[in-house]
Amino acid sequence: MRTGNIVQLGIKELRGLFRDPMMLALIVYAFTVSIYTASKAQPETLNQAAIAIVDEDRSPAAARIITAFSPPYFTVPRLISQSEMMSRMDAGLDTFALNIPPNFQRDLLARRSPAIQLNVDATRMSQAFTGSGYIQSIVGDEVSEFLSRYRSAAPLPIDLALRARFNPELNKSWFGAINNIISSVTMLSIILTGAALIREREHGTIEHLLVMPVTPFEVMASKIWSMGLVVLVAASISLIFVVQGLLAVRIGGSVPLFLFGTALYLFATTSMGIFLATSAGTMPQFGLLMMLVLMPLQMLSGATTPRESMPEIIQNIMLAAPNTHFVILAQAILFRGAGLAVVWPQLAALLVIGGLLFFLSLRSFRRFLQ
């Protein structure tokens, strides 16, 4: 092995990349515009939830409830008739429909415990749960306040002081921004190394390399460092200028530590890219294979939905994927301000997985060359 060759071949990769303006434009897009829009588009959990109210009582108590719903959590409630209710929900216009029955106020004051009906479109999973909880508590508050003018209640004096740590306002755009950086890092590192390898084979240049005093190890290492570097630089710039700058996300921990973790992660993903390229014969096959591997990895890494909710077996399988560890590491460092003492197991896991993937790819790369 000679470091000189690895450096020279890596520089060759970089030069090649800089000759492809379309690819450069896409990289810039992925790490700036794409992250910015995706983060800005992320609504709060309950943002502008569409609600309609059928008011069959038209009493002051009902009016009180209606006025309690307002942006930003809810849209201004649309007052509709009973007959409209189902067709609007079918068309997906409303997520929630509240039906206040006739004589609601009278029954309330008479302590007959009247029932309000809340219809929820349960196919909108993200809003159905939290939204109905909010609505119940809003209605409850309004009703008890309305009643408090008539009678006094004596609840138990046990408070629950509920606080969210690390992101007190539960600002979703923070999460979205970091998540998008992670997925761009993964996608780009796999595509850059894998597709570059297939291209070398389709153009016959790989064969040429092998009659020179260059080993497969050097060829592979050069691709890994050069393409990894490109992604690392792009991710750092994006983190500092787009995420911290433009999106004003408060980052809890050390950025250098995160970048160190990213470098280890890139070692693993670029090796994976080479492995995929050696398994795929042509570029279309590589494209499909990449999607097939990339999407489950992203979906199940714990970045989109919490790991705890997945079946046990999937959780265990996903421990073998570098993404899982990187997502844990990124969330710990960037949001929870964790230091080396906390994230070292993830760093170690990334190193081990990266080393294994590198070894596997090197083996299949040697076979690929024959």
Partner 1 sequence: MTDAPHAFPSSASAPVIRLEAVGLSYGTTRALDDITLDIPASLMVGLIGPDGVGKSSLLSLVAGARTIQDGHVHVLGGDMTDAAHRRRTCPQIAYMPQGLGKNLYPTLSVFENVDFFGRLFGHDRREREERIQQLLRDTGLAPFADRPAGKLSGGMKQKLGLCCALIHDPDLLILDEPTTGVDPLSRRQFWELIETISKDRPGMSVIVATAYMEEAARFDWLVAMDEGRVLATGTPAELLRQTGTDNLDAAFIALLPEEQRRDHKEVVIPPRRADQGGDVAIEAKDLTVKFGDFTAVDHVTFRIARGEIFGFLGSNGCGKTTTMKVLTGLLPASEGEAQLFGREVDPRDMDVRRRVGYMSQAFSLYSELTVRQNLELHARLFRLAPDTIDGRVLDMVDRFDLSNVIDALPDALPLGVRQRLSLAVAMIHAPDILILDEPTSGVDPVARDGFWQILSDLSRQDNVTIFVSTHFMNEAERCDRISLMHAGKVMISDTPEQIAARRGGGSLEEAFVAYLKDAIAASDTTKASPTPHIATTAAAAKPHGAMHSTLSFFDPRRMFAYTQREALELKRDPIRATLAILGSLILMFVMGYGINMDVENLSFAVMDHDDTTISRDYALQIAGSRYFTELALITDYDDLDRRMRSGELSLAIEIPPGFGRDVARGSNVQIGAWVDGAMPSRAETVRGYVQAMHATWLAQRARQLYGNAATTGDHQIEVRFLYNPDIRSIVAMAPTVIPILLLIIPAILATLSVVREKELGSIINFYVTPVTRLEFLIGKQLPYVALAMLNFFLLTAFAVFAFRVPFTGSFVAFTSAALLYVIITTAMGLVISSFMTSQIAAIFATALLTMIPATQYSGLVDPVSSLQGAGAVIGRIYPTAHFVTITRGTFSKGLDFGDLSGPFLALIVTIPILLALGVALLKKQAN
Scanning residues 242 to 271, which ones bind partner 1 (CB under 8 A)? none
Nearer to partner 1, 70 or 304 (CB): 304
- Measured from the CB of residue 100, what is the shortest distance to partner 1 in angstroms? 10
Instruction: Give me the sign of the Cα torsion angle 339, 345, 346, 351.
Output: positive
- Measured from the CB of residue 16, what is the shortest distance to partner 1 in angstroms? 4
Measured torsion, CA atoms of residues 267, 360, 311, 182, in degrees rounded to the nearest 10: 20
Asked if residues 144 and 153 have their Cβ atoms less than 8 Å apart, the reply is yes
Regarding 80 and contact with partner 1 (CB under 8 A), the answer is no
Side chain identity at residue 73, one-letter code: Y
- Measured from the CB of residue 20, what is the shortest distance to partner 1 in angstroms? 6
Determine the Cα–Cα distance for residues 211 and 287; give it in Å rounded to an integer. 29
Q: Which residue has the tokens 């509240």?
A: 98
Regarding 3 and contact with partner 1 (CB under 8 A), the answer is no
* Closest alpha carbon to 17 in 181, 192, 184, 199: 192
Contacts of 127 (CB under 8 A, 6+ apart): 45, 46, 49, 95
Side chain identity at residue 359, one-letter code: F
Determine the Cα–Cα distance for residues 79 and 72; give it in Å rounded to an integer. 18
Site for partner 1 in 18-77 (CB under 8 A): 19-20, 22-23, 26, 29-30, 34, 37-38, 40-50, 75
- Measured from the CB of residue 268, what is the shortest distance to partner 1 in angstroms? 19
Site for partner 1 in 204-223 (CB under 8 A): 204-205, 207-208, 210-215
Nearer to partner 1, 288 or 320 (CB): 288
Site for partner 1 in 173-202 (CB under 8 A): 174-175, 180, 187-188, 191-192, 195-196, 199, 202
Length of the chain: 370
Site for partner 1 in 272-311 (CB under 8 A): 281-292, 294-296, 299-300, 304-306, 308-311
Binding residue for partner 1 (CB under 8 A) from 32, 128, 145, 352?
128
Binding residue for partner 1 (CB under 8 A) from 3, 4, 83, 149?
4
Q: DSSP state, 114? A: -
